[in-house]
């Protein structure tokens, strides 16, 4: 079974940093991609980032580009999202997700992915 678990959320002040982690299992890690999504209260889910686990190539939404960095540890089957210069608008529950389709990579990730793990809450305060 595909399992994804995000962790590392918390309370941080504006301008601060957090690093989220995603533990993934149940699929061949190197052949796939993991996306990060977030959902703020009263808002629709938003695609934030995606990383191809094979070559490490990354994609970011315009709202986080330059502030968030996705990375991967292919030995531990972990993906990370380093978030810097956090803003109030970054407050949301963050999820990691995957579509198990070898070679698909991050194509179309902005439209959603097949499996979502439990999220982790990030709260940015002023």
Contact 81, 70 (CB under 8 A): yes
pLDDT (tens digit, 9 = 90+) per residue, 66-106? 999 999 998 999 999 999 999 999 999 999 999 888 888 99
Residue 46 predicted with pLDDT over 90: yes
Residue 109 predicted with pLDDT over 90: yes
Among candidate residues 87, 68, 91, the one with its CA nearest the CA of residue 16? 87
pLDDT score of 126: 94
pLDDT score of 31: 85
pLDDT score of 121: 98
CA-to-CA separations, 25 to 10, 50, 86, 89, in angstroms, rounded:
24, 17, 29, 31
């Amino acid at each position: 079974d595909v399992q994804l678990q995000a962790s590392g959320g918390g309370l941080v002040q504006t301008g601060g940093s957090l690093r989220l982690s995603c533990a993934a299992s149940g699929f061949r890690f190197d052949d796939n991609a993991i996306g990060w999504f977030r959902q703020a209260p009263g808002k629709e889910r938003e695609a934030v980032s995606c990383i191809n686990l094979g070559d490490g190539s990354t994609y970011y939404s315009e709202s986080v580009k330059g502030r968030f960095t996705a990375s991967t540890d292919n030995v531990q089957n972990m993906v990370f999202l380093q978030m810097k210069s956090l803003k109030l608008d970054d407050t949301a529950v963050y999820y990691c997700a995957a579509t198990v389709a070898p070679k698909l990579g991050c194509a179309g990730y902005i439209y959603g992915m097949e499996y979502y793990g439990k999220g982790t809450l990030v709260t940015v305060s002023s």
